[in-house]
Amino acid sequence: MDDLFLERIEISGPTLASLLQRVSSSPGDVDGLIFGQIHRIVPSNLSDDSPAESSSSSDQLIATVTSFICSGKTVSFYDPLGRVNPRRIDYLRVDSPDHLIGWFSARRKTSNRPSMRELAVSSSLSSQFHLPIEDSENPKSTNMASSVFFLLTTPLADQLIHTHEYRSFQFRSSNQRLEPRSVGIVNIGPAFRGHYGSFSPKSGFPPLVCELRRSAMSVDYDEGSLSAKKQAGKDQKEIDALADGLHVGDLRRLVGAEAANYTGGIEEMYEKMLAKVESLASDVERSSAMIYAQDKRNRKLRYRAARIER
């Protein structure tokens, strides 16, 4: 059982936001379990100056947090001395399909450094549960005697804006210490497409019902003259033409091998639709200005007519 070094710990933006929301909505301090995977990455550094030499750096271990379970209180799966109870952990993790890689503790108005009890909990957890390392090149999975720890705190002094501070640690059984690790927040976007290149969804997208329905307010509302209705229908047809050939079922192509090609078409479609909507918004703004000017002239005429009648 090796005590290996984690290069960094990654967590997606929605997962981190969900964790912060769960912590902030709790009435007091809480703790919980963290689930995820450990991947072995072998980066290669190729140099153009010496093409005959291709140096490959050492393996890097990356911990990826995929989900968490918040107990809603403290001392939920361990005793006051920091000794972990495996039965409580099995009870909490029964609904999680991922591997247990560590735990988190959320405290309010405290310093952002681990306590002695949190160190004891991490030590007890790493001695009973080992992190499985997934390696695509080596099907035989290996384990490491370690654990991941997230510490979330709030500032000591009251602030107008509610903020959270978070740090990640790796417990090393060799020196019985919690060593800080950098946190990488993975978000969805062009800069992070490499993270989803080999991703395949476990379940397909649910059927989405997309129907154009008119509300009761729109039925009772007078849409204006016949020419305005024809123009609105023409604008709607132009917007629908931009989305011609794109269906809700094709959203599954946003992930996987063809995501890079498909997202370009989606982005181009949205750019054209936004340009058309911006043009319609400009027309509405000009029409509103003309209506306001006409209403102003009508008020002046009514005022003059009222003076003449007197």
Residues 200-255 have pLDDT tens digits of 555 455 555 555 455 444 444 444 555 666 666 676 676 666 666 666 566 666 66
What are the pLDDT digits (tens) for 99-132?
889 999 999 888 889 999 999 999 999 888 877 7
Q: In the chain, what are the domain boundaries?
A: 6-44+55-187, 216-304
Q: Are the C-beta atoms of residues 229 and 223 closer than 8 Å to each other?
A: yes
The pair phi, psi for residue 101, each rounded to 5°, is: -115, -10
User: Under DSSP, is residue 93 helix (H, G, I), strand (E, B) or coil?
Assistant: helix
Domain 6-44+55-187 has CATH 3.40.50.970: no
User: Under DSSP, is residue 152 helix (H, G, I), strand (E, B) or coil?
Assistant: strand
Q: Are the C-beta atoms of residues 178 and 171 closer than 8 Å to each other?
A: yes
Query: Can you tell me the distance from the alpha carbon of 1 to that of 147, in angstroms, rounded to the nearest whole number?
Result: 13
- Among the residue ranges 9-23, 78-92, 244-258, the one predicted with the least confidence is 244-258
Structure tokens at 23: 């912590």
What are the pLDDT digits (tens) for 155-211?
887 766 767 889 999 998 888 889 999 998 887 554 455 555 444 555 455 555 555
Polymer length in residues for the chain: 310
Q: Tokens 């290069």 sit at which residue? A: 7
DSSP string spanning the chain?
Answer: -B-PPEEEEEEEHHHHHHHHHHHHTSSS-EEEEEEEEEEEE--EEE-SS-TT-EEEPPPEEEEEEEEEEE-SSSSSSB-TT--B-HHHHHHHGGG--SEEEEEEEE-SSS-SS--HHHHHHHHHHHHH--EEEE-SS--S-EEESEEEEEEEE--SS--SS---EEEEEEEETTTTEEEEE-EEEE-SSGGGGGGGTT---SSPPPP--------HHHHHS----HHHHHHHHHHHHHHHHHTTT--GGGGGGGSSTTHHHHHHHHHHHHHHHHHHHHHHHHHHHHHHHHHHHHHHHHHHHHHHHHHHH-
Q: How confident is the model at residue 136 (pLDDT cuts 50, 70, 90)?
A: low
- Among the residue ranges 41-45, 65-69, 196-200, the one predicted with the least confidence is 196-200
